[in-house]
Copies of this chain bind each other. A is one copy, B any other.
Amino acid sequence: MPTAEVDAEVDQPAPSGAARRVTALNRNDKAFHVVLAQQFERDAIEQLCTLADMIREIATTRQGTQFLITLLSHRRAMLYFIQPSTRTFLSFTAACQVLGMPFNDVRDRSTSSEVKGESEDDTIRVLSQYFDLIIMRHPGEGFAEHVAHMLNDMPRTIPVINGGSGKDQHPTQALLDIYTLSRSFAQQTAKVERRFKDNVFDGKTIAFVGDLKRGRTVRSLSYLLCKYSGVKLKFISPPSLQISDDILEYLNRNDTQYELANDLRTHIGELDAVYMTRLQDEWDTDTEKSSIDYDKFSLTADMTGMFKKDLAILHPLPRREELDQKLDATPYAKYWDQVRNGMWMRAALIASIFNVDIAIRDHYHAYHTY
């Protein structure tokens, strides 16, 4: 991971305690661990977005894809996905395949040696002997950070990427979301490298809708968005499922404007982007469920008349009724792009961890700009 270039003109918010903790974790020249969304400062985010753009453009030619698959063909990734997730799993495997990186997976604790009484730490220590990168998804809060510390203590240290841990953190989802937003806001900008000359988020209003209390994607993305000045956030949800106070405090500390609301229909006309999430009612009691007016947190085709011209609709998927299938074929729908962006962003992240981002930039400049 290249050190961020110092840019005196960008006013970066102060890193939080958690971000400082991860910085310490990564101050070892051994491996770059991706643990929390907050650990990425604005210039690191923008470098990753630019790199993702370059990879996708290189991949449009056969000669380009053949170049990409040589980049990490000499490394091996382990996807330790104890918490089921087809979507994130396949996104990471596709990202590995884009870079030619072989991988294998452990997806079921019952097939691993833990049934013979082995500690999970030992299982991961063993995996670190065969592979050069561990990408993990795990129900344990803070587990990826714990693993990063443990791997720093091994004679052979390899990097870890948090592919979602507990209810708290999903940093690569946050990166792909901000990538999707930045692409949507900057559609008019032709050259990928010019996008971040200006702050495309300046003056934009972005709403989060649905169950904001339990959705970790919204939490992680909020951390990243408050690194951009001039952005305005709206949190639209039933009062019982509103975004939690620690996020609001984080926004306050970073001088990010926000508003709480409880009806999408009264706000839709002001939005540049709407980030839909589902009301995860499989966790609700019947009492809670009956008290929610689902219509207030749904986006339907009959609302199109109220949309701003360039409204971008995002959704981390899977969706249910809250996002009308009739919107799929409209230009507002960015959620399929968002899925594909996840693959490119994850490829960019893995490339950066292994310092092949430089080779990608060189190739891009040699073949794709003039």
Q: Min CB distance, A162 to chain B, in Å? A: 20
Asked if B156 and A118 sit within 8 Å, CB to CB, the answer is no
A87 within 8 Å of B by Cβ? yes
Q: A59-B74, A114-B318, A117-B282 are in contact. List 11 more A-B contacts (CB 8 A).
A: A65-B73, A90-B104, A94-B104, A97-B102, A117-B318, A118-B318, A118-B319, A126-B317, A126-B336, A129-B339, A156-B336
A97 vs B100: C-alpha distance in the bound complex, in angstroms? 12
Beta-carbon nearest neighbor of A104 in chain B:
B93
- Cα distance A12–B154 in the bound complex, in angstroms: 40
Cross-chain contact B340 with A156 (CB below 8 angstroms): yes
Q: Write out, one digit per residue, whether chain A residues 104-131 have a CB within 8 A of any chain B CB (1) or not (0).
A: 1011000111101110001101110111
Measured in the bound complex, the distance between the Cα atoms of B118 and A76 in whole Å is: 32
* A343 CB to nearest chain B CB (Å): 6
By a CB distance below 8 angstroms, the chain B residues around A155 are 336
State in angstroms the CA–CA spacing of A70 and B65 once bound together: 11
> Is the CB–CB distance between B69 and A74 below 8 Å?
yes
- Counting CB contacts under 8 A, is A329 at the interface? yes
Given contacts A129-B340, A131-B94, A156-B336, contact A66 B73 (CB under 8 A): yes
The distance in angstroms between the C-alpha atoms of A114 and B317, with both chains bound, is 11
Shortest CB distance A294–B (Å): 13
Question: CA A329 – CA B122 in complex, angstroms?
Answer: 13
Please pick, from B66, B70, B282, the residue contacting A116 in the complex, using a CB distance under 8 A. Answer: B282
Q: What residue in chain B is nearest A128 (Cβ atoms)?
A: B336
Encoded as 1 (CB less than 8 Å from any B CB) or 0, chain A from 70 to 95 comes to 10011010100000101100110110
B residues near A127, Cβ cutoff 8 Å: 90
In the complex, what distance in Å separates the CA atom of A149 from the CA atom of B87? Answer: 23
Judged by a CB distance under 8 angstroms, whether A302 is at the interface is no
What are 18 residue pairs bridging A and B, where the CB atoms are less than 8 Å apart in the complex?
A62-B74, A65-B74, A66-B73, A66-B74, A76-B97, A86-B106, A86-B113, A90-B104, A90-B106, A107-B111, A122-B317, A122-B318, A122-B319, A126-B336, A129-B339, A130-B340, A154-B336, A155-B336
Q: Is the CB of A129 within 8 A of B343?
A: yes
Instruction: Tell whether A153 is near chain B: CB-to-CB under 8 Å.
Output: yes
A267 at the interface (CB under 8 A from B): no
Nearest-neighbour CB distance to chain B for A84, whole angstroms, equals: 5
Query: Does residue A320 face the partner (Cβ distance < 8 Å to B)?
Result: yes
Contact partner of A113 (CB less than 8 A), chosen from B87, B117, B125, B129, is B87
Whole-angstrom distance between the alpha carbons of A90 and B105 in the complex?
Answer: 9
Q: Would you call A113 and B336 a contact (CB within 8 A)?
A: no
- The answer to whether B117 and A320 touch across the interface, beta carbons within 8 angstroms, is yes
Q: Is the CB of B129 within 8 A of A318?
A: no
Those 7 A-B pairs whose CB atoms lie nearest each other, nearest first = A118-B318, A65-B74, A129-B340, A129-B339, A94-B130, A113-B318, A97-B102
Residues of B within 8 A of A94 (CB): 76, 104, 130-131
A154 to chain B, nearest CB (A): 7
In angstroms, Cα B118 to Cα A282, docked, is: 13
Least CB distance, A306 to chain B, in whole angstroms: 24
CA distance A127 to B336 in the complex (A): 10
How far apart are the CA atoms of A155 and B336 in the complex, in Å? 9
